[in-house]
Amino acid sequence: MTMKKKKLILLSMFAVVATVALYGFREYYRRNRDLAGIPPDLVIRDTTLLRWFTAGGAGNSYIGHIVQVDGMIRKIEKDEQAHIIVILGASTTPSAVRCSIDSVHIGEIGGWQTGHRVKIKGMLVGFNPDETGLLGSDVELNRCVPEQYTSTTSNQ
């Protein structure tokens, strides 16, 4: 084997090892993606999404997927650690779609008010059924990103 050939093989091996190591490093330190700019797997109304879980399990197939929900803001909750949840749903039922806002995007919902129509995209975490009969059942979305806010109130 010529010296040139040996060098080529060594160089190729090094390139393969370096690529695998780089991939491994990036994969190991990968953080959860910011969902802004990522197209949703499902676009749906808040009331329909709730129904998909309360009446049958149609919503289960979208758990772990990116879902864009269109609905009316019933309430905005903020805890002591500035974590914000936008609650979407009809006021006639305690059940709701709870959207936990990604901390990176909290500034974008500064002017949001209850009664307004919004579109929010997030990772569908699952469904929390109410076993007490007092609190209402909830569909939960994490790492949510505001998509659209309609500044006129809507009647649902």
Q: Which of 42, 51, 76, 142 binds other proteins (CB under 8 A)?
A: 142
CA atoms of 126 and 59, how far apart (whole Å): 8
* Residue 54 engages other proteins in binding (rule: CB under 8 A): no
Binders in 67-96 for other proteins, by CB under 8 A:
77, 79-81, 83, 85
Strands (E), the chain: 42-45, 66-78, 84-88, 96-101, 116-128, 138-153
**Window of 37-45, 107-115, 130-138, 144-152 that interacts with other proteins by CB under 8 A:** 130-138
Q: Which of 53, 71, 88, 98 binds other proteins (CB under 8 A)?
A: 98
* CA 138 vs CA 33, 70, 111, 126: distances in Å: 24, 15, 25, 8
State the minimum distance, in angstroms, from the CB of residue 49 to other proteins: 15
State the minimum distance, in angstroms, from the CB of residue 110 to other proteins: 20
CB 50 within 8 A of CB 90: no
